[in-house]
Amino acid sequence: MLFSEHNLTLRPARYGSIEVICGSMFSGKTEELIRRLKRAQYARLNVEIFKPSVDKRYDEKLVVSHDSNSIPSTPVENSSAILLLSSATQVVGIDEAQFFDDGLSEVCVKLANNGIRVIIAGLDMDYKGQPFGPIPSLMAIAEHVTKVHAVCMQCGAPANYSYRLIADTQTVLLGEKEAYEPRCRQCYYQLDRQND
Ligand SMILES: Nc1ncnc2c1ncn2[C@@H]1O[C@H](COP(=O)(O)OP(=O)(O)O)[C@@H](O)[C@H]1O
Ligand SMILES: Cc1cn([C@H]2C[C@H](O)[C@@H](COP(=O)(O)O)O2)c(=O)[nH]c1=O
Ligand SMILES: [Zn+2]
């Protein structure tokens, strides 16, 4: 079945589910997460939003998109804290999930099995084009996976890679446009364009 929030509202409330929103940097993951969470708040559902405390780029306690949309959140050190803080919740949102430990999948399964709608946003690939943290496992166990795309900064095509502009080989390197640009496959791998 295609993803539709309409189908979610048709479910009996005792069933939870896992949704993953993934893609490159600047692809609109956070905007889509905020959109789904605000709609849940309009429906008067009890919503809790978490992000890893390591991500302090825009604001310590807000989830903020590159377009300055925001929603209050709770920064947490690890995935087990999400379980502890979600007991009275109907919808759980998690941003920057690539930075969480591998226990995040088990936490999300427990939440969903307890009837909670879990919505996760995160990078599916790191700057090397490799699967990033717990996101690939979460994609495997999720009911719904939405892959969003940025615009390639080199050619304007849909972009699914995050190209690192600075010479630093650590996997985790917080940053914005000074450090990364979204690119399509051709531009990321600098493939030959002569057959275009
Ligand atoms: N190259 C780009 N492609 C698409 N959006 C971009 C680009 N550069 C900046 N943006 C901005 O980023 C916003 C998406 O931000 P956000 O939801 O925070 O993305 P993500 O969480 O995937 O990094 C877009 O609405 C747009 O305003
Ligand atoms: C590709 C890549 C990214 N990061 C960092 C850079 C940003 O701080 C976040 C991603 O933020 P966004 O909301 O998806 O734009 O992750 C990193 O640490 N390592 C990487 O390889
Ligand atoms: Zn391109």
State yes or no: pLDDT of 82 exceeds 70: yes
Q: With a cut of 0.85, is the ipTM above it?
A: yes
| pLDDT tens digits, one per residue of 95-154 | 999 999 999 999 999 999 999 999 999 999 999 999 999 999 999 999 999 999 999 999
pLDDT above 90 (res 35): yes
| DSSP letters for the chain | ----HHHHHHS-TT--EEEEEEESTTSSHHHHHHHHHHHHHHTT--EEEEEETT--SS-SSEEE-TTS-EEE-EEESSHHHHHHT-TT-SEEEE-SGGGS-TTHHHHHHHHHHTT-EEEEEEESB-TTS-B-TTHHHHHHH-SEEEEE-EE-TTT-SEE-EEEE-SS---S----STTTEEEE-HHHHTT---TT-
- Taking CA atoms only, the protein residue closest to ligand 1 atom 18 is 65
* Structure confidence at residue 62 (pLDDT): 87
Residues with a catalytic annotation lie at 96
Average pLDDT over residues 163-191: 97
Which one has a higher pLDDT value, 4 or 172?
172
pLDDT band (50, 70, 90) for residue 196: low
Using CB distances shorter than 6 Å, the residues near ligand 1 are 23, 25-31, 65-67, 150-151, 153, 182
Instruction: Give the per-residue pLDDT at 91.
Output: 97
